[in-house]
Chain A
Amino acid sequence: MSQLRVLVGCKRVIDYAVKVRVKPDKTGVVKEGVKHSMNPFDEIALEEAVRLKEKQVASEVIAVSCGPQACQETLRTALAMGADRALHVEVSGSEYEGLLPLGVAKILAALVKKEEANLVVLGKQAIDDDCNQTGQMLAALLDWPQATFASAVSVEGEGLAVTREVDGGLENVRLSLPAVVTADLRLNEPRYATLPNIMKSKKKPLAQMTPGDLGVDINPSLTVLSVEDPPVREAGSKVEDVDQLIAKLKDSGVF
Chain B
Amino acid sequence: MATLLKTTDTQSAIEELGALLGDRLSTSPAVCEHHATGETYHAPRPPDAVVFPETTEEVAEIVRICAAHGVPMIPYGVGTSVEGNVCALEGGVTLDMGRMNQVLRVSQEDLDVTVQAGVTRKQLNTHLRDTGLFFPIDPGADATLGGMTATRASGTNAVRYGTLKENVLGLTVVLPDGQIIKTGGRARKSAAGYDLTRLFVGSEGTLGVMTEITLKLYGIPEAISAAVCSFPSLEAAVNTVILTIQSGIPIARVELLDDIQMDACNKFSKLDYAPKDTLFFEFHGTERGVAEQVEQVREIVQEFGGSDFRWSTKPEERNALWQARHDVYYACLALQPGKKGWATDVCVPISRLAECLIETKEELDASPLLAPIVGPRRRRQFPRLLPHRPGRSGRDGRGQAPQRTHDRPRTRHGRDQHGRARHRLRQAGVPGGRARRRGRRPHAHAQADGRSPQPDESRESGRRLTAGLCSRLWRASNASFKE
Contacts and interface: CB of A to CB of B under 8 A. Distances in A.
Interface of A: 15, 17, 35, 37-38, 73, 77, 80, 188-199, 238, 240-241
Interface in B185-208: none
Contacts of A190: 315
A88 B222 CA distance: 26
Nearest to A47: B315
Interface residues of B, number: 20
Contact of A77 (B29, B130, B315): B130
B315 A195 contact: no
A37 B130 contact: yes
**Interface centre among B130, B131, B220, B316, by most A CB within 10 Å?**
B130
Interface in B214-254: 219-222
A255 to B, nearest CB: 22
A150 to B, nearest CB: 16
B282 to A, nearest CB: 14
B133 interface: yes
Nearest to A195: B219
A40 to B, nearest CB: 10
Given A17-B126, A37-B130, A80-B132, A196 B286 contact: yes
Contacts, number: 53
B123 interface: yes
B283 interface: no
A196 B223 CA distance: 10
Given A37-B130, A194-B219, A189 B28 contact: no
B129 interface: yes
A19 to B, nearest CB: 11
B132 A198 contact: yes
A194 B129 contact: no
Given A15-B127, A196-B286, 16 more contacts: A17-B123, A37-B130, A188-B316, A189-B314, A189-B319, A193-B132, A193-B220, A194-B219, A194-B220, A194-B222, A195-B219, A195-B222, A196-B219, A196-B221, A238-B28, A240-B28
Interface of B: 28-29, 123, 126-127, 129-134, 219-222, 286, 314-316, 319
A170 to B, nearest CB: 18
B316 A192 contact: no
Contacts of A192: 129, 132, 134, 220, 315
A38 B129 CA distance: 11
Given A188-B316, A189-B315, A241-B29, A195 B133 contact: yes
A143 to B, nearest CB: 35
Nearest to A196: B222
Contacts of A37: 129-130
**Interface centre among A195, A238, A240, by most B CB within 10 Å?**
A195
**Interface centre among B126, B129, B133, by most A CB within 10 Å?**
B129
Contacts of B28: 238, 240
A197 B316 CA distance: 20
A197 B222 contact: yes
B55 to A, nearest CB: 18
A148 B123 CA distance: 30
7 contacts: A17-B123, A17-B127, A77-B130, A193-B130, A195-B132, A195-B219, A196-B221
B220 A195 contact: yes
Nearest to A241: B29
Contact of B221 (A80, A194, A241): A194
A195 B314 CA distance: 18
| Interface pairs A-B: 8 shortest CB-CB | A195-B219, A195-B132, A198-B132, A189-B316, A194-B220, A189-B315, A196-B222, A194-B222
Contacts of B221: 194-196
Contacts of B29: 240-241
Contacts of B219: 194-196
Contacts of A35: 127
A198 B131 CA distance: 8
Nearest to B319: A189
B315 A191 contact: yes
B130 A197 contact: no
Contacts of A199: 132
A194 B131 CA distance: 8
A99 B316 CA distance: 34
Nearest to B106: A35
Contacts of B222: 194-197
A191 B315 CA distance: 6
B433 to A, nearest CB: 33
A73 B127 CA distance: 15
Contacts of A38: 130
A80 B222 CA distance: 10
Contacts of B319: 189
A52 to B, nearest CB: 14
Nearest to B221: A194
Contacts of A198: 131-132
B214 to A, nearest CB: 19
Contacts of A17: 123, 126-127
Contacts of B314: 189
A194 B222 CA distance: 5
A18 B174 CA distance: 28
Nearest to B26: A238
Contacts of A80: 132
Nearest to B317: A189
A238 B28 CA distance: 9
A80 B220 CA distance: 12
A199 B133 CA distance: 12
Nearest to B218: A195
